[in-house]
Structure 1
Amino acid sequence: MAGTSVPSAPSPGAAPSFTATTFLLLRHGETPLTAQQRFSGSGAGDPPLSERGRRQAEQAAAALAARGDVAAVVSSPLARCRQTAAAVADRLGVEVGIAADLRETDFGRWDGLTFAEVRARFPAEMAAWLAEPSVAPPGGESFAEAAARVSRARDELLAAFQGRTVLLVSHVTPIKTLVRLALGAPDAALFRMHLDPAALSTVAYYGDGNASLRSFNDTAHLRS
């Protein structure tokens, strides 16, 4: 699979068309930039989890291990996701696969800035970015470009894990994109969703091509 490296797993055989393939979508735990509400993409910076983020990863890991149905763990290549994924994989006794296409959007020159700072320094560029998914931040990547690679990762992973439940550890934009695509929602839906650090969302995919959003932004495991 181009851009994707997943650990080998026993084949369940050909899955019946009514058997769903389930993606558990876990946003990485908090980083120092998350707490400050700064753009944190796949560009210049690659911040690790904060102490709170590591606790969130462990809480998510405990909840996911208790499910008993997670067949594999696949992560974005960025450090904050790999750390989050490792906490879960350690509990499950599995390896972490890497899918490069699950990385966060590259925000270019906006990386590390707050929304207010970007609006003040790049008013015209931000207005265009908010209005049109094909517009990229200066030196960065557009939402349309990110959606194309996320769709590619989805299709590769669906083929690799047919009929099973797999945990994907990723970022705000890829997870929202998978949810938007599952719902058949317009591009503007990205700006209508809120996703907390270490939140879980669930999408089930069926053999007839349909998809069903089962949960979104679930943080119950972080309250224990």
Structure 2
Amino acid sequence: MALPEPSQPTTLVLVRHGVTAHTTERRFSGGLAGHNPGLSEEGRAQVKETAEWLLPLAGQVGSMISSPVLRTRESADIVADVLGVPVVEDPAFAEMDFGVWEGMTFDEVAEHHRSELEEWLGQLDRVPGGGLGESFRSVEERVLGRLHPVLEEHEGNTLVVVSHVTPIKVMVAHAMGAPLEALFRMELAPASVTVLSFYPQPDRAPHPSLRMFNGVPPGRPAFLEPRPW
């Protein structure tokens, strides 16, 4: 494999939103079609701590993109206030939709929709929630379809993208050249930071580099009760 030419990369600082009541209760909490809970007080404190941890980047970050889902937009506003950068919403980075599973706990879905849940966890193109949600493949298509234009629009710069578990995992798997199944082997803590840099190459797609995964401020656990996906 040819080494990338030394050049200024485009760097994405991917921030997961802080916790909501759904997060701590292990409830399915999806994108724009879901219940759309806001941050809890704990979630706001988590994001504020993460934003202050990122403060040394204030002079480097030129812009921010946020999923328009309430918990991510609230998180983005907190980070933007600390870093002093504007926020633009982009629905491509919203969480996957879970259809009728929205707001249900994992145990409730396992009890009432077990066969559908088992198929969903084993098939990346299976649509959850009574066929009303999004498959992992459709989320991958949505996220990656927007990722490359974003890299072109912000070439050579550093930007913060405030998003959710599934879109962040999709981008990490893509950057690592891993199959989408790899997302089942990743865990992301609330208000965690993952950093991807993309180095331009002549006549080829940018060369990605994973700089940080699931980083959290010192003293905070880098895990929560694991999600099953």
What TM-score do the two structures reach when normalised by structure 2? 0.87
The number of residue pairs the alignment matches comes to 208
Counterpart selection for 1:151 from 131, 144, 151:
144
Counterpart selection for 1:88 from 79, 84, 108:
79
**Distance in 2 separating the partners of 1:166 and 1:101:** 16
Of 161-170 and 68-77, more deviation after overlay is shown by 68-77
Return closer, same or farther for 1:151/1:222 CA change in 2, 3 Å cut-off: farther
**Distance in 2 separating the partners of 1:44 and 1:57:** 22
- Residue 113 (1) aligns with residue 117 (2): no
Is the Cα–Cα contact under 8 Å of residues 66 and 87 in structure 2 kept in the other structure? yes
The amino acid that maps onto 2:77 is: A
Q: How far has the Cα of 1:222 moved from its partner?
A: 6.3
- Residue 125 (1) aligns with residue 116 (2): yes
Matching of residues 119-198 of structure 1 within 5 Å:
119-137=110-128, 138=130, 139-198=132-191
Q: SS where residue 183 of structure 2 aligns?
A: helix
Is the Cα–Cα contact under 8 Å of residues 194 and 212 in structure 2 kept in the other structure? yes
**Distance in 2 separating the partners of 1:57 and 1:91:** 10
The amino acid that maps onto 2:43 is: G
- 2:227 corresponds in structure 1 to none
- 1:64 corresponds in structure 2 to 54
- 1:6 corresponds in structure 2 to none
Q: How far has the Cα of 1:63 moved from its partner?
A: 1.6
**Distance in 2 separating the partners of 1:221 and 1:50:** 21
Is the Cα–Cα contact under 8 Å of residues 64 and 70 in structure 1 kept in the other structure? no
- Residue 216 (1) aligns with residue 213 (2): yes
Q: Percent identity?
A: 41
- Residue 28 (1) aligns with residue 17 (2): yes
- 1:76 corresponds in structure 2 to 67
Is the Cα–Cα contact under 8 Å of residues 65 and 92 in structure 1 kept in the other structure? yes
**Distance in 1 separating the partners of 2:47 and 2:103:** 22
**Distance in 2 separating the partners of 1:32 and 1:123:** 24
The amino acid that maps onto 1:50 is: S
Q: SS where residue 206 of structure 1 aligns?
A: strand
- 1:8 corresponds in structure 2 to none
Q: SS where residue 210 of structure 1 aligns?
A: strand
Counterpart selection for 1:200 from 188, 193, 198:
193
- Structure 1 residue ranges without an equivalent (≥5): 1-15
> Once superposed, which parts of structure 1, at least 4 consecutive aligned residues long, lie more than 4 Å away?
none
- 1:48 corresponds in structure 2 to 38
- Structure 2 residue ranges without an equivalent (≥5): 221-229
**Distance in 1 separating the partners of 2:213 and 2:25:** 23
